[in-house]
A = this chain, B = another copy of it.
Amino acid sequence: MSFCVIILSLRMGGILVKNLIVGQSGGPTSVINGSLAGVYAEAKKCGFDKVYGMVNGIEGLLLDRIVDLDDYLGEKENLELLKRTPSSFLGTCRFKLGKMEEHEDLYEKVFEILDKHSIDSFIYIGGNDSMDTVESLSDYALLHNKKQNFIGVPKTIDNDLPVTDHCPGFGSACKYIATTMKEIIADNMCYGDTKQTVAIVEIMGRHAGWLTAAAALAKDDNCCGVDAIYLPEVAFDVDTFVQDVEDLLKKKSNIVIAVSEGIKTADGDYVCELLDTNLMTDSFGHKELVGCAEALGRILRDKLGIKTRPVTLSILQRAGAHLASKRDLDEAIKCGNLGASLAFKGETGKMVVMRRISDEPYKIKFEVFDDIHKIANVEKKIPLEWIDVDNNYVSDELIGYIRPLIQGDVKQIYKDGLPQYLVMK
């Protein structure tokens, strides 16, 4: 008899009633709702009575904006829809509580609302900043003898959370990027050697280049792959870049380059800040930067006299749930499951992590990391040995690390030609 079943039996006897609240925080991913579905399903199975959702994370909780998830997820069909829904079903926020000694009022308000709804456990699905919230609330609760416990479930397309092998959300964004990159490369070759074409594709990731590295996965039997990859982990040198492109154009007419939005020079300047002409000031006095792909295009036009096509994947790469990786979704659900069972056990200040046992065959273990202090606000970057010596491509090890994460496709639920979602009414 499993732990959950024992607890459920106790509950049925009227001994124990526990309620849970779950929230989503930070930028959405294609599978963040998979984790929500995983939390809900397991929480119900464990024996939580009410499973509440925070509307817009901790920011909404402070306004007492909560929903009873039974109202939405009671039917199995809805749970399946939720797993396929992009963005954050509950809404999200980028709110930080700040230091407890400076914002005790906010902390007290959180516990007041949790108490008001008899909530025992709190799960936050999010990235670095969200784990900071889990850490702070857990510490506060221990310090002030509050009954609630706090668990983190990892989520981020950026894959920059430490300790865990990778983050749910990363694999689907990689699948989106690799698929789209194959399409861009095919399209970019359509004129063959009758026309020189240079596409520069800008990919998310301000400090960590994991997503941009995923562009390398496009290369296979029927795709020549991207020609160069520039990552924020290493200094970007404009002259070397121009030389790289010039060399490439001697060998082929159609080239595709992947760049991280966050590439910087050795002096620490973002590439988009390099050119005066790229800085614009409006009547409010705001400066605005053009994107990095656009800036690099202008540099190439200026230095080599060639035209380029900048493509910015923008929010499509994190919202493209129709291209979610089945493996990523399954893992997101399991992380949610484990989060709920940890919450039910009363664990606190911990985060669900994944540990990779092997690449081929791909094997992963779902574990608990005890000390969230070592996760919150720490960014995991690509190890330098996974970036090639010329700083313009990635190693086979890095490709081998990402490849398993994009496997499998999620069958969408279509109506009238379009994927269907679950939304709050």
Contacts and interface: CB of A to CB of B under 8 A. Distances in A.
A301 interface: yes
Interface size class of A (residues with CB under 8 A): 35 or more
A234 interface: no
A187 to B, nearest CB: 4
A184 B180 CA distance: 16
Interface in A341-369: none
Interface stretch (A41-49, A144-152, A374-382, A409-417): A409-417
Given A180-B316, A190-B92, A298 B277 contact: no
B220 A418 contact: yes
A323 B320 CA distance: 11
A59 interface: yes
Interface in A216-251: 217-218, 220-223
Interface of A (DSSP majority class): mixed
Contacts of A187: 28, 86-87, 315, 318-319
Interface in A93-152: 93-94
A59 B192 CA distance: 11
A319 B201 CA distance: 14
Contacts of A423: 186, 222-223
A218 B316 contact: no
A23 to B, nearest CB: 13
A127 to B, nearest CB: 14
A297 to B, nearest CB: 9
A254 to B, nearest CB: 10
Contacts of A85: 186
Given A280-B277, A418-B178, A321 B220 contact: no
Interface centre among A311, A319, A403, A421 (most CB of B within 10 A): A319
Interface string A388-421: 0000000000000001001111001011111111
A70 to B, nearest CB: 19
Nearest to A92: B190
Contact of A93 (B179, B194, B419): B194
Interface stretch (A12-20, A259-267, A282-290, A330-338): A282-290
Nearest to A180: B316
Interface in A154-192: 175, 178-180, 182-184, 186-192
Given A222-B423, A417-B175, A421-B182, A314 B311 contact: yes
A88 B190 contact: yes
A220 B415 contact: yes
A422 interface: yes
A302 interface: yes
Nearest to A282: B302
A342 B305 CA distance: 46
A312 interface: yes
A129 to B, nearest CB: 14
Contact of A189 (B87, B184, B280): B87
A421 B182 CA distance: 9
Contacts of A86: 182-183, 186-187
A192 B277 CA distance: 36
Contacts of A280: 277, 298
B284 A305 contact: yes
A56 interface: yes
Contacts of A409: 412, 414, 417
Contacts of A282: 277, 298, 301-302
A184 B319 contact: yes
A35 interface: no
A296 to B, nearest CB: 13
29 contacts: A28-B187, A55-B192, A56-B192, A59-B194, A85-B186, A86-B182, A87-B187, A93-B191, A178-B417, A179-B322, A179-B418, A182-B421, A184-B319, A186-B423, A188-B315, A217-B418, A221-B415, A222-B421, A280-B298, A284-B301, A284-B302, A286-B301, A288-B301, A309-B315, A311-B312, A406-B417, A407-B416, A408-B417, A409-B412
